[in-house]
Amino acid sequence: MEHTADVGIRAWGESLGEAFRNCALGMMSLMLDLDKVGREKRVWVEAEAEDLEALLVSWLSEILFYVEAEGFAFAWFEDVEIEGGKAAAWGWGEELDPERHGLKLEVKAPTYHGLRLEEREGGWTAQVIFDV
């Protein structure tokens, strides 16, 4: 799913939290090779918003903050807890190493353009487009 200067992902999860986790992993896989990122350290990631779509954007933006500002590469996220307008989970990874982690795209931000988050039979589907 590409447009001019944008790239998108679709993710699925049996639960809403699993869909959020899979969106985060999808975003990270756009940026680097997840197989090359160790699970040496854990970081608590928390986001808040008024509705589920905004919460997904806020969640992904918070993860991007850690990547860009803290130089942290995520390899995995534990179960994402979603309750009362908040999403939170432990994320596992290590210090970002551009050479070893095989940097791909520079993701600037998740957008509301084309954003979808739907509960369907058997789980949740999400679609997110990122500025790159």
Q: Which pLDDT belongs to residue 5?
A: 75
Number of H-type helices and E-type strands within the chain: 2, 9
Contacts of 109 (CB under 8 A, 6+ apart): 61, 64, 130, 131
pLDDT of 3 higher than 50? no
Q: Name the CATH superfamily, with its identifier, for domain 2-119.
A: Archease domain (3.55.10.10)
pTM (2 d.p.): 0.93
pLDDT of 8 higher than 70? yes
DSSP 8-state secondary structure symbol assigned to residue 25: H
Q: Residues 23-52: what's their mean pLDDT?
A: 97
Q: Which pLDDT belongs to residue 4?
A: 58
